[in-house]
Copies of this chain bind each other. A is one copy, B any other.
């Protein structure tokens, strides 16, 4: 039975403003690193590092195209993360239900 991978790394990757903004920018299409760097208020290497974090979490994927490297969104992991949150949320609802029933006797 394949133990489910924990969603923690994906959440960790999402837990940074810069990275959220990168993802937002990528959501209107693939972009190169220098494109992403422009207006990011950060050095190219800084952007690269964040992209690698996102890549490590499986949220984006980069391919070299000529002299530039293009970065795409990767959907699967985000879906997984979303499902995880839904699940957690569901558990919490149940918990609150139990508590409420208990309190109201």
**Interface positions of A (Cβ within 8 A of B):** 6-17, 20, 23-24, 26-29, 73, 75, 78-79, 81-82, 85-86, 88-89, 91-92, 94-96, 98-99
Which chain B residues border A96 with CB–CB below 8 Å? Answer: 73, 75
A28-B95, A92-B78 given as contacts; is B11 within 8 A of A6 (CB)? no
Which chain B residues border A29 with CB–CB below 8 Å? Answer: 95, 98-99
Q: Please measure, in the bound complex, the distance between the C-alpha atom of A15 and the C-alpha atom of B53, giving whole angstroms.
A: 13
Which chain B residues border A13 with CB–CB below 8 Å? Answer: 15
CB-based nearest B residue for A72: B99
B73 touches A23 (CB 8 A): no
A79-B89, A92-B73, A98-B29 given as contacts; is B14 within 8 A of A8 (CB)? yes
* CB contact between A89 and one of B16, B82, B89, B91 (< 8 Å): that residue: B82
A11 touches B14 (CB 8 A): yes
